[in-house]
Chain A
Amino acid sequence: MQLIINFIIKYKYFLFFLLLEIVAISFTIQGHSYHKSKFVNSANFVTGGLYKRINSFKEYTNLRTFNQQLLDENTMLKNILSQHSKDTAVNSIQVIDTALYFQKYTYIPAKVIHNQFHKKYNYLTLDKGSKNGITTDLGVVNSNGIIGITNSVSENYATVLSILNENAKINVKLLRSLHFGTLEWDGKDYNILQLVDLPIQANIKAGDTIVSGGKSTIFPEGIPVGTILNFSKENNSYSRIDIKLFNDMSAIGPVNIVTNLDKEEIQNLEQDLFND
Protein backbone atom coordinates (compact mmCIF):
# COMPACT_ATOMS: atom_id res chain seq x y z
CA MET A 1 0.00 0.00 0.00
CA GLN A 2 2.77 2.38 0.98
CA LEU A 3 4.46 1.49 -2.26
CA ILE A 4 1.45 2.49 -4.33
CA ILE A 5 1.08 5.80 -2.51
CA ASN A 6 4.77 6.51 -2.98
CA PHE A 7 4.44 5.70 -6.64
CA ILE A 8 1.49 8.05 -7.04
CA ILE A 9 3.25 10.86 -5.21
CA LYS A 10 6.41 10.38 -7.22
CA TYR A 11 4.65 10.35 -10.55
CA LYS A 12 1.70 12.60 -9.74
CA TYR A 13 2.42 15.08 -12.55
CA PHE A 14 2.91 12.32 -15.04
CA LEU A 15 -0.32 10.61 -13.99
CA PHE A 16 -2.18 13.93 -14.13
CA PHE A 17 -0.71 14.56 -17.57
CA LEU A 18 -1.74 11.08 -18.71
CA LEU A 19 -5.29 11.55 -17.43
CA LEU A 20 -5.77 14.88 -19.23
CA GLU A 21 -4.16 13.50 -22.38
CA ILE A 22 -6.62 10.60 -22.42
CA VAL A 23 -9.49 13.09 -22.08
CA ALA A 24 -8.11 15.14 -24.98
CA ILE A 25 -7.60 12.10 -27.22
CA SER A 26 -11.11 10.83 -26.52
CA PHE A 27 -12.51 14.25 -27.51
CA THR A 28 -10.44 14.01 -30.68
CA ILE A 29 -11.78 10.58 -31.58
CA GLN A 30 -15.30 11.74 -30.86
CA GLY A 31 -14.66 14.76 -33.10
CA HIS A 32 -13.55 12.57 -36.00
CA SER A 33 -16.68 10.44 -35.99
CA TYR A 34 -19.72 11.54 -37.92
CA HIS A 35 -22.72 10.51 -35.87
CA LYS A 36 -22.25 11.61 -32.32
CA SER A 37 -23.39 14.63 -30.42
CA LYS A 38 -20.07 16.31 -29.88
CA PHE A 39 -19.18 17.87 -26.57
CA VAL A 40 -16.56 20.16 -28.09
CA ASN A 41 -18.35 22.37 -30.63
CA SER A 42 -18.63 26.06 -31.40
CA ALA A 43 -22.43 26.21 -31.11
CA ASN A 44 -22.32 27.25 -27.47
CA PHE A 45 -23.07 30.59 -25.90
CA VAL A 46 -19.47 31.83 -25.57
CA THR A 47 -17.96 30.79 -28.90
CA GLY A 48 -21.12 31.51 -30.89
CA GLY A 49 -21.47 34.89 -29.24
CA LEU A 50 -17.90 35.87 -30.03
CA TYR A 51 -18.17 34.68 -33.62
CA LYS A 52 -21.39 36.64 -34.06
CA ARG A 53 -19.68 39.77 -32.82
CA ILE A 54 -16.66 39.27 -35.09
CA ASN A 55 -18.96 38.59 -38.02
CA SER A 56 -20.91 41.81 -37.49
CA PHE A 57 -17.71 43.63 -38.48
CA LYS A 58 -16.56 41.31 -41.23
CA GLU A 59 -19.98 41.25 -42.86
CA TYR A 60 -19.62 44.76 -44.25
CA THR A 61 -16.66 43.89 -46.40
CA ASN A 62 -18.72 41.33 -48.31
CA LEU A 63 -22.05 43.16 -48.57
CA ARG A 64 -21.63 43.89 -52.28
CA THR A 65 -21.02 40.23 -53.17
CA PHE A 66 -23.87 38.99 -51.01
CA ASN A 67 -26.26 41.56 -52.45
CA GLN A 68 -25.38 40.43 -55.96
CA GLN A 69 -25.86 36.79 -54.91
CA LEU A 70 -29.30 37.49 -53.49
CA LEU A 71 -30.29 39.47 -56.58
CA ASP A 72 -29.21 36.58 -58.82
CA GLU A 73 -31.17 34.15 -56.70
CA ASN A 74 -34.26 36.34 -56.89
CA THR A 75 -33.98 36.51 -60.66
CA MET A 76 -33.56 32.76 -60.88
CA LEU A 77 -36.61 32.13 -58.71
CA LYS A 78 -38.69 34.59 -60.74
CA ASN A 79 -37.64 32.84 -63.93
CA ILE A 80 -38.65 29.47 -62.48
CA LEU A 81 -42.01 30.88 -61.46
CA SER A 82 -42.77 32.30 -64.88
CA GLN A 83 -41.60 29.10 -66.57
CA HIS A 84 -43.88 27.08 -64.35
CA SER A 85 -47.02 28.93 -65.41
CA LYS A 86 -46.13 28.40 -69.05
CA ASP A 87 -45.46 24.71 -68.50
CA THR A 88 -48.81 24.07 -66.91
CA ALA A 89 -50.48 25.95 -69.76
CA VAL A 90 -49.06 23.67 -72.43
CA ASN A 91 -49.09 20.70 -70.07
CA SER A 92 -45.46 19.69 -70.47
CA ILE A 93 -42.93 18.75 -67.82
CA GLN A 94 -39.69 19.29 -69.67
CA VAL A 95 -37.94 21.46 -67.13
CA ILE A 96 -36.26 19.80 -64.19
CA ASP A 97 -36.31 21.99 -61.15
CA THR A 98 -37.15 21.64 -57.50
CA ALA A 99 -40.52 23.30 -57.86
CA LEU A 100 -41.80 20.42 -59.99
CA TYR A 101 -40.98 17.56 -57.67
CA PHE A 102 -43.81 18.45 -55.31
CA GLN A 103 -41.81 17.58 -52.24
CA LYS A 104 -42.48 19.40 -49.03
CA TYR A 105 -39.59 21.47 -47.76
CA THR A 106 -39.37 24.53 -45.60
CA TYR A 107 -36.46 26.94 -45.61
CA ILE A 108 -35.10 28.91 -42.67
CA PRO A 109 -32.72 31.81 -43.42
CA ALA A 110 -29.46 32.05 -41.47
CA LYS A 111 -26.08 33.75 -41.62
CA VAL A 112 -22.72 32.02 -41.53
CA ILE A 113 -20.83 33.62 -38.66
CA HIS A 114 -17.74 31.42 -38.91
CA ASN A 115 -16.36 29.60 -41.91
CA GLN A 116 -13.54 27.06 -42.20
CA PHE A 117 -12.07 25.60 -45.36
CA HIS A 118 -8.39 24.87 -44.80
CA LYS A 119 -8.57 21.83 -42.54
CA LYS A 120 -9.47 18.22 -43.11
CA TYR A 121 -12.63 18.31 -41.00
CA ASN A 122 -14.23 21.69 -41.62
CA TYR A 123 -17.22 23.14 -39.82
CA LEU A 124 -19.24 26.33 -40.13
CA THR A 125 -21.16 28.14 -37.41
CA LEU A 126 -24.62 29.65 -38.03
CA ASP A 127 -26.46 32.33 -36.09
CA LYS A 128 -29.68 30.29 -35.73
CA GLY A 129 -30.34 27.52 -33.23
CA SER A 130 -33.03 25.35 -31.68
CA LYS A 131 -34.99 28.51 -30.83
CA ASN A 132 -35.50 29.00 -34.57
CA GLY A 133 -36.49 25.40 -35.21
CA ILE A 134 -33.08 24.05 -36.21
CA THR A 135 -32.33 20.43 -35.37
CA THR A 136 -29.40 18.19 -36.25
CA ASP A 137 -29.09 16.61 -39.72
CA LEU A 138 -30.75 19.36 -41.73
CA GLY A 139 -29.39 20.46 -45.09
CA VAL A 140 -27.76 23.86 -45.50
CA VAL A 141 -27.81 25.42 -48.98
CA ASN A 142 -27.45 28.76 -50.71
CA SER A 143 -28.32 29.90 -54.19
CA ASN A 144 -25.11 28.42 -55.64
CA GLY A 145 -25.40 24.98 -54.11
CA ILE A 146 -24.97 22.75 -51.12
CA ILE A 147 -23.02 23.98 -48.07
CA GLY A 148 -23.34 21.17 -45.52
CA ILE A 149 -25.43 19.43 -42.87
CA THR A 150 -26.23 20.76 -39.38
CA ASN A 151 -24.28 18.94 -36.70
CA SER A 152 -24.55 20.36 -33.19
CA VAL A 153 -27.32 22.73 -32.16
CA SER A 154 -27.58 25.02 -29.14
CA GLU A 155 -30.32 27.46 -28.28
CA ASN A 156 -29.05 30.28 -30.49
CA TYR A 157 -26.36 28.75 -32.68
CA ALA A 158 -25.68 25.70 -34.79
CA THR A 159 -22.58 24.12 -36.29
CA VAL A 160 -22.62 22.76 -39.82
CA LEU A 161 -20.58 19.85 -41.10
CA SER A 162 -19.22 21.44 -44.27
CA ILE A 163 -19.10 19.49 -47.52
CA LEU A 164 -15.38 20.18 -47.10
CA ASN A 165 -15.22 17.51 -44.40
CA GLU A 166 -13.94 13.99 -44.76
CA ASN A 167 -17.09 12.68 -43.05
CA ALA A 168 -19.47 14.40 -45.46
CA LYS A 169 -20.92 12.06 -48.08
CA ILE A 170 -23.66 13.62 -50.16
CA ASN A 171 -25.85 11.92 -52.72
CA VAL A 172 -25.64 13.71 -56.08
CA LYS A 173 -26.71 12.94 -59.64
CA LEU A 174 -26.10 14.12 -63.16
CA LEU A 175 -28.46 16.81 -64.31
CA ARG A 176 -29.06 15.22 -67.73
CA SER A 177 -29.50 11.59 -66.65
CA LEU A 178 -30.60 9.77 -63.51
CA HIS A 179 -27.22 8.22 -62.68
CA PHE A 180 -26.19 9.05 -59.17
CA GLY A 181 -23.02 8.92 -57.09
CA THR A 182 -21.56 10.23 -53.85
CA LEU A 183 -19.82 13.54 -53.37
CA GLU A 184 -16.70 13.45 -51.19
CA TRP A 185 -13.69 15.64 -50.48
CA ASP A 186 -10.05 14.61 -50.53
CA GLY A 187 -8.95 17.53 -48.34
CA LYS A 188 -6.84 19.35 -50.94
CA ASP A 189 -8.48 22.16 -52.93
CA TYR A 190 -11.51 23.75 -51.31
CA ASN A 191 -13.26 24.38 -54.62
CA ILE A 192 -12.75 20.89 -56.06
CA LEU A 193 -14.63 17.86 -54.75
CA GLN A 194 -14.68 14.24 -55.89
CA LEU A 195 -17.57 12.20 -57.23
CA VAL A 196 -17.34 8.49 -56.45
CA ASP A 197 -19.47 5.40 -57.12
CA LEU A 198 -20.78 6.73 -60.40
CA PRO A 199 -21.63 3.78 -62.70
CA ILE A 200 -19.70 3.54 -65.97
CA GLN A 201 -23.00 3.56 -67.86
CA ALA A 202 -23.29 7.25 -67.08
CA ASN A 203 -21.58 8.66 -70.13
CA ILE A 204 -20.05 11.78 -68.66
CA LYS A 205 -17.99 14.52 -70.21
CA ALA A 206 -16.20 17.51 -68.78
CA GLY A 207 -18.56 20.38 -68.09
CA ASP A 208 -21.57 18.23 -67.15
CA THR A 209 -23.64 19.70 -64.34
CA ILE A 210 -24.05 17.82 -61.05
CA VAL A 211 -27.11 18.40 -58.85
CA SER A 212 -28.21 16.98 -55.51
CA GLY A 213 -29.77 13.55 -55.89
CA GLY A 214 -32.74 13.55 -53.55
CA LYS A 215 -32.01 10.00 -52.40
CA SER A 216 -31.43 11.21 -48.85
CA THR A 217 -34.00 12.90 -46.65
CA ILE A 218 -31.70 15.87 -46.14
CA PHE A 219 -31.44 17.75 -49.45
CA PRO A 220 -34.20 18.32 -52.00
CA GLU A 221 -33.51 16.98 -55.48
CA GLY A 222 -32.05 19.28 -58.10
CA ILE A 223 -30.02 21.75 -56.08
CA PRO A 224 -27.01 22.76 -58.20
CA VAL A 225 -23.62 21.55 -56.94
CA GLY A 226 -21.00 22.05 -59.64
CA THR A 227 -19.63 20.90 -62.97
CA ILE A 228 -17.32 18.04 -63.91
CA LEU A 229 -13.80 19.42 -64.25
CA ASN A 230 -11.98 16.28 -65.40
CA PHE A 231 -12.14 12.52 -64.92
CA SER A 232 -10.15 9.36 -65.56
CA LYS A 233 -11.23 5.80 -66.37
CA GLU A 234 -9.59 2.64 -65.14
CA ASN A 235 -10.64 -1.03 -65.55
CA ASN A 236 -13.93 -0.03 -67.08
CA SER A 237 -15.01 2.19 -64.20
CA TYR A 238 -14.47 5.80 -63.27
CA SER A 239 -11.44 6.02 -61.00
CA ARG A 240 -11.56 9.72 -60.27
CA ILE A 241 -14.01 12.48 -61.14
CA ASP A 242 -13.24 16.05 -60.02
CA ILE A 243 -16.13 18.42 -59.51
CA LYS A 244 -15.70 22.19 -59.59
CA LEU A 245 -18.21 23.77 -57.20
CA PHE A 246 -20.45 26.66 -58.20
CA ASN A 247 -19.95 28.03 -54.70
CA ASP A 248 -16.82 29.77 -53.52
CA MET A 249 -16.51 27.95 -50.20
CA SER A 250 -14.18 30.61 -48.81
CA ALA A 251 -16.88 33.29 -48.97
CA ILE A 252 -20.24 32.05 -47.72
CA GLY A 253 -22.70 34.60 -46.39
CA PRO A 254 -26.48 34.13 -46.21
CA VAL A 255 -27.69 30.51 -46.34
CA ASN A 256 -30.94 28.58 -46.08
CA ILE A 257 -31.57 25.62 -43.82
CA VAL A 258 -33.81 23.00 -45.42
CA THR A 259 -36.23 20.93 -43.40
CA ASN A 260 -37.82 17.93 -45.07
CA LEU A 261 -41.33 17.71 -43.66
CA ASP A 262 -41.68 14.07 -44.74
CA LYS A 263 -38.41 13.03 -43.15
CA GLU A 264 -39.98 11.26 -40.20
CA GLU A 265 -42.43 9.39 -42.38
CA ILE A 266 -39.69 8.23 -44.73
CA GLN A 267 -37.46 7.18 -41.87
CA ASN A 268 -40.28 5.25 -40.21
CA LEU A 269 -40.97 3.42 -43.43
CA GLU A 270 -37.32 2.54 -43.88
CA GLN A 271 -37.07 1.48 -40.25
CA ASP A 272 -39.88 -1.04 -40.82
CA LEU A 273 -38.06 -2.30 -43.86
CA PHE A 274 -34.87 -2.96 -41.94
CA ASN A 275 -36.69 -4.56 -39.02
CA ASP A 276 -38.40 -7.18 -41.19
Chain B
Amino acid sequence: MTDAIKNIILFISLILVQIIVLNNVLLWGFINPLLYILFVVIYPFKRDRGLFLFFSFLLGLSIDFFLNSGGINAAATLFIAYIRLPLIKGILGKSEIDFPVFDISKLPFLNLLFFISILTLLHHFIVFSLEYFKFSAIGTIFYRTLLTSLFTIILLIFSLLFMNKAK
Protein backbone atom coordinates (compact mmCIF):
# COMPACT_ATOMS: atom_id res chain seq x y z
CA MET B 1 0.00 0.00 0.00
CA THR B 2 2.73 2.43 0.96
CA ASP B 3 4.44 1.55 -2.30
CA ALA B 4 1.39 2.66 -4.28
CA ILE B 5 1.18 5.95 -2.38
CA LYS B 6 4.89 6.54 -2.93
CA ASN B 7 4.45 6.04 -6.64
CA ILE B 8 1.51 8.42 -6.82
CA ILE B 9 3.49 11.09 -4.95
CA LEU B 10 6.40 10.52 -7.33
CA PHE B 11 4.05 10.80 -10.33
CA ILE B 12 2.54 14.11 -9.21
CA SER B 13 5.77 15.68 -7.98
CA LEU B 14 7.55 14.84 -11.25
CA ILE B 15 4.81 16.61 -13.24
CA LEU B 16 5.00 19.64 -10.95
CA VAL B 17 8.80 19.84 -11.11
CA GLN B 18 8.73 19.50 -14.89
CA ILE B 19 6.06 22.18 -15.38
CA ILE B 20 6.97 24.69 -12.68
CA VAL B 21 10.76 24.49 -12.78
CA LEU B 22 12.24 22.69 -15.77
CA ASN B 23 9.99 24.00 -18.53
CA ASN B 24 11.17 27.48 -17.58
CA VAL B 25 14.76 26.37 -18.03
CA LEU B 26 15.92 26.97 -21.58
CA LEU B 27 19.67 26.53 -21.81
CA TRP B 28 21.02 28.40 -24.83
CA GLY B 29 17.46 29.14 -25.79
CA PHE B 30 16.33 25.64 -26.69
CA ILE B 31 17.60 22.90 -24.36
CA ASN B 32 14.80 21.89 -22.05
CA PRO B 33 15.67 18.84 -19.91
CA LEU B 34 12.86 16.31 -19.48
CA LEU B 35 13.47 14.97 -15.99
CA TYR B 36 10.00 13.44 -15.66
CA ILE B 37 11.18 10.16 -17.24
CA LEU B 38 12.77 9.48 -13.85
CA PHE B 39 9.43 7.78 -13.21
CA VAL B 40 10.23 5.10 -15.79
CA VAL B 41 13.71 4.61 -14.34
CA ILE B 42 12.77 4.11 -10.69
CA TYR B 43 9.28 2.61 -10.84
CA PRO B 44 9.64 -0.76 -9.05
CA PHE B 45 10.28 -3.77 -11.28
CA LYS B 46 7.21 -5.67 -10.19
CA ARG B 47 5.27 -8.01 -12.37
CA ASP B 48 2.26 -5.70 -12.88
CA ARG B 49 3.56 -4.38 -16.15
CA GLY B 50 0.12 -3.37 -17.40
CA LEU B 51 -0.34 -0.82 -14.64
CA PHE B 52 3.17 0.51 -15.17
CA LEU B 53 2.57 0.95 -18.91
CA PHE B 54 -0.69 2.75 -18.21
CA PHE B 55 0.89 5.11 -15.66
CA SER B 56 3.76 5.92 -18.00
CA PHE B 57 1.30 6.73 -20.76
CA LEU B 58 -0.69 8.90 -18.37
CA LEU B 59 2.44 10.74 -17.21
CA GLY B 60 3.45 11.55 -20.77
CA LEU B 61 -0.09 12.62 -21.63
CA SER B 62 -0.23 14.92 -18.59
CA ILE B 63 2.94 16.64 -19.80
CA ASP B 64 1.38 16.88 -23.27
CA PHE B 65 -1.68 18.61 -21.83
CA PHE B 66 0.55 21.28 -20.33
CA LEU B 67 2.66 21.72 -23.44
CA ASN B 68 -0.12 21.46 -26.08
CA SER B 69 1.97 18.83 -27.81
CA GLY B 70 -0.67 16.28 -28.81
CA GLY B 71 0.54 12.84 -27.75
CA ILE B 72 4.26 13.24 -28.30
CA ASN B 73 5.43 12.74 -24.72
CA ALA B 74 2.85 10.02 -24.12
CA ALA B 75 4.08 7.99 -27.10
CA ALA B 76 7.75 8.36 -26.13
CA THR B 77 7.28 7.62 -22.43
CA LEU B 78 5.10 4.60 -23.16
CA PHE B 79 7.74 3.26 -25.53
CA ILE B 80 10.61 3.44 -23.04
CA ALA B 81 8.34 1.98 -20.36
CA TYR B 82 7.71 -1.02 -22.61
CA ILE B 83 11.37 -1.41 -23.57
CA ARG B 84 12.62 -1.10 -19.98
CA LEU B 85 12.35 -4.75 -18.97
CA PRO B 86 14.01 -6.26 -22.09
CA LEU B 87 16.70 -3.58 -21.80
CA ILE B 88 17.62 -4.31 -18.19
CA LYS B 89 17.62 -8.04 -18.95
CA GLY B 90 19.96 -7.39 -21.86
CA ILE B 91 22.31 -5.24 -19.78
CA LEU B 92 22.54 -7.74 -16.94
CA GLY B 93 22.67 -10.70 -19.32
CA LYS B 94 19.95 -12.51 -17.42
CA SER B 95 16.79 -14.03 -18.82
CA GLU B 96 14.91 -13.64 -15.53
CA ILE B 97 15.16 -10.96 -12.87
CA ASP B 98 14.62 -11.48 -9.18
CA PHE B 99 11.83 -8.92 -9.06
CA PRO B 100 11.04 -8.47 -5.36
CA VAL B 101 14.62 -7.63 -4.39
CA PHE B 102 15.77 -5.99 -7.59
CA ASP B 103 16.61 -2.34 -7.02
CA ILE B 104 17.82 -0.01 -9.73
CA SER B 105 20.15 1.86 -7.34
CA LYS B 106 22.03 -1.38 -6.57
CA LEU B 107 23.26 -1.60 -10.16
CA PRO B 108 26.95 -0.91 -10.80
CA PHE B 109 27.36 2.70 -11.82
CA LEU B 110 28.40 2.04 -15.42
CA ASN B 111 25.49 -0.31 -15.99
CA LEU B 112 23.13 2.25 -14.48
CA LEU B 113 24.57 5.02 -16.64
CA PHE B 114 24.19 2.86 -19.74
CA PHE B 115 20.60 1.96 -18.83
CA ILE B 116 19.64 5.60 -18.20
CA SER B 117 21.40 6.85 -21.32
CA ILE B 118 19.66 4.37 -23.62
CA LEU B 119 16.24 5.18 -22.14
CA THR B 120 16.84 8.93 -22.36
CA LEU B 121 18.21 8.88 -25.91
CA LEU B 122 15.32 6.73 -27.14
CA HIS B 123 12.76 8.91 -25.39
CA HIS B 124 14.18 12.18 -26.66
CA PHE B 125 14.64 10.83 -30.16
CA ILE B 126 10.96 9.86 -30.32
CA VAL B 127 9.89 13.21 -28.84
CA PHE B 128 11.83 15.26 -31.38
CA SER B 129 11.01 12.97 -34.32
CA LEU B 130 7.31 13.29 -33.62
CA GLU B 131 7.66 17.03 -33.08
CA TYR B 132 9.45 17.68 -36.38
CA PHE B 133 7.73 14.81 -38.21
CA LYS B 134 9.79 15.33 -41.34
CA PHE B 135 12.65 13.29 -42.75
CA SER B 136 14.46 16.38 -43.98
CA ALA B 137 14.78 17.62 -40.38
CA ILE B 138 16.79 14.55 -39.34
CA GLY B 139 19.87 16.68 -38.62
CA THR B 140 17.99 18.98 -36.25
CA ILE B 141 16.34 15.98 -34.61
CA PHE B 142 19.70 14.30 -33.84
CA TYR B 143 21.27 17.56 -32.71
CA ARG B 144 18.48 18.37 -30.29
CA THR B 145 18.21 14.77 -29.10
CA LEU B 146 21.91 14.58 -28.18
CA LEU B 147 22.16 17.96 -26.48
CA THR B 148 18.92 17.65 -24.51
CA SER B 149 19.70 14.04 -23.54
CA LEU B 150 23.04 15.12 -22.09
CA PHE B 151 21.34 17.46 -19.63
CA THR B 152 18.51 15.06 -18.86
CA ILE B 153 21.01 12.28 -18.07
CA ILE B 154 23.00 14.56 -15.75
CA LEU B 155 19.82 15.58 -13.94
CA LEU B 156 18.66 11.95 -13.69
CA ILE B 157 21.97 10.85 -12.14
CA PHE B 158 21.87 13.70 -9.65
CA SER B 159 18.30 12.97 -8.63
CA LEU B 160 19.11 9.26 -8.19
CA LEU B 161 22.08 10.16 -5.99
CA PHE B 162 19.92 12.57 -4.03
CA MET B 163 17.17 9.99 -3.53
CA ASN B 164 19.68 7.39 -2.35
CA LYS B 165 21.08 9.85 0.17
CA ALA B 166 17.62 10.63 1.46
CA LYS B 167 16.85 6.97 2.11
List the interface of chain A (C-beta within 8 A of B): 12-14, 16-17, 20-21, 23-32, 38, 40-42, 44, 46-47, 50-51, 54, 58, 114, 116, 118-121, 123, 125, 159, 187, 190
Contacts and interface: CB of A to CB of B under 8 A. Distances in A.
Contact of A118 (B30, B49, B64, B68): B30
B53 A40 contact: no
Contacts, number: 103
Interface string B55-67: 0010011001111
Please give me the 8 A-B residue pairs with the lowest Cβ-Cβ distance, nearest first.
A31-B70, A27-B71, A24-B71, A24-B75, A123-B68, A24-B74, A28-B70, A28-B71
A40 B68 contact: yes
B54 interface: yes
B26 to A, nearest CB: 6
Contacts of B20: 50, 54
Contacts of A28: 69-72, 75, 130
A119 B68 CA distance: 11
A249 to B, nearest CB: 12
A31 B32 contact: no
B71 A42 contact: no
B3 to A, nearest CB: 20
Given A24-B57, A118-B26, A121-B131, A13 B72 contact: no
A116 B132 CA distance: 16
A31 B70 CA distance: 4
